[in-house]
Amino acid sequence: MKSLTLSQECISYIDSLDKSYEEDYPSPEDKVTTVLFKTITKTILMSREAFLGEGPEVVENFVKASPDFAADQLDDFITRIVLQDVQGMVKRIMQLSHLEALFKPSKNTAKYIREATRLYIYGFSQACAAISRAALEQALKEKLGHQGSGEFLKFQDLLKEAKKWNIVDENTERQIRDTANKADLVLHEKPTDLEGAFEVLIAVRGLLQLLYSTKGGF
């Protein structure tokens, strides 16, 4: 029998704490209080993520009156969410292969690559697609000597220049354009899911490995 992972052990431990709490506080009033605190905590988080209207005003008064208690409730709530997501994160990491190229990207470009990958791992599909595209753009700027220049350069102009200096060939140019266009859809009112974000991320990671393995340059 396979042993439990650390995240599963933590979830199991929390379940046992919940069971002990229910046994210690079995009355209907206690159960109502528990549900109430969970609802308040969820509302606190949701009110930071979206516009909820006038409803959260009561909750905000609660936060102002008892900030430490509210923080403790949020800690409990978020810990449970993260632990439940760990297995999915692990699965998404295992879907990815290691990055390898002849040359290392700059720290600036590497930051975009890292964040795009982590956004996918953590399950943020829209942000993953958008930052993946940004990583691709930064790689082109770096290869062309434009990174950090402060110039505004259209993506298509970067691509044309990259082809001019033999950084990309026609096939790679087409792949980059298609991948960028797919990522652009997220920025123009067409949200994607994790599967779509994965397709963009994988394409970008492959193209980056190609770009940083070519000796072409301006």
The whole-number pLDDT of residue 218 equals 53
* Separation of alpha carbons 12 and 19, rounded Å: 11
Amino acid (one-letter) located at 181: N
92-151 pLDDT, tens per residue?
A: 999 999 999 999 999 999 999 999 999 999 999 999 999 999 999 999 999 999 998 888
104-121 pLDDT, tens per residue?
A: 999 999 999 999 999 999
165-191 pLDDT, tens per residue?
A: 999 999 999 999 999 999 999 888 889
The whole-number pLDDT of residue 61 equals 92
CB atoms within 10 A of CB 191: 11
Query: Phi and psi (nearest 5°) for 50?
Result: -155, 165
The whole-number pLDDT of residue 11 equals 97
27-64 pLDDT, tens per residue?
A: 999 999 999 999 999 999 999 998 887 667 889 999 99
Residues 6+ apart with CB under 8 A from 93: 121
Widest CA span in the chain: 75
| Whether the predicted pLDDT of 158 surpasses 90 | yes
Cβ pair 158, 180 in contact under 8 A: no
Query: Phi and psi (nearest 5°) for 188?
Result: -130, 55
Domains in the chain (CATH in brackets) are 6-93 (no CATH), 99-211 (1.20.120.330)
* Separation of alpha carbons 171 and 155, rounded Å: 17
Cβ pair 201, 120 in contact under 8 A: yes
